[in-house]
Amino acid sequence: MELFKQKQFEQCRPRIEALLADPDCTIETRFWVQIQLEAVDYAETHHSGKPQGALSNLILEHAKSLQKLTASGPKYLKFYSLIARHAAELGVLVYENTSLFMALQHHLERRGSPMMVLGLYARRSTITGRIVVKYNQCIRLARYAANYPDRWVLGRALTTIVNAVGGYFVTLRSENHFQAEHAFAQSALRVCKLAASHGSVGRLGMPKEPR
């Protein structure tokens, strides 16, 4: 939308919301309009200076809205929304892990309470396990998308997985977990290639789950 490109969000939003509320609009039309609304909300939140966590939660809320919208819609839109939902949940976990990492570094540098440090380590351990589980769920969806009949529409959904996990690479490298970083990076690269090729796995191979 031209108004979005010009960053005229206040004028853009009413038009988007009108289309979403229009009973004559098809689910397909409202689906893409919902994605445009996410872009508007994201841009506004980003420019407002709110913490990064607000962006992760915003993406998750929009993913939930997509699932609700497509509940009675075409299967390929349902699948898109499912991928987006899992990727958004991954993004929230990655942000939480980053926040705990920063808090832990702060306490270690200032020689804070040992009990607090142990608590942060425990919470990070739990979050790390959840990130691995959630990411592997996303990878299984990506592998299924590779042979999906309507995979032409899923490229954008697959990129949400890569966007969500990207921040995790930073903490892995900061803690010298180079092997784990490499495994995640190689897996994410395959997802990128899969997204770019719209599922042409015969040439590119399947994305793998990091362990």
Secondary structure string (H, E, C) spanning 56-124: HHHHHHHHHHHHHHCCCCCHHHHHHHHHHHHHHHHHHHHHHHHHHHHHHHHHHHCCCCHHHHHHHHHHH
Per the listing, tokens 């994410």 go with 188
What tokens appear for 56 in the block? Answer: 């992760």
pTM (two decimals):
0.84
What tokens appear for 54 in the block? Answer: 């607000």
Tens digit of each residue's pLDDT, the chain (211 residues): 454 454 555 667 788 888 888 888 899 999 998 998 888 888 888 777 777 778 999 999 999 999 999 999 999 999 999 999 999 999 999 999 999 988 888 777 777 677 777 888 889 899 999 999 999 999 999 999 988 888 888 999 999 999 999 999 999 999 899 999 999 999 999 999 999 886 433 333 445 556 5
Task: Kindly state the helix (H) or strand (E) to which residue 135 belongs, with its residue range.
Answer: helix 114-146
What tokens appear for 72 in the block? Answer: 């009675």
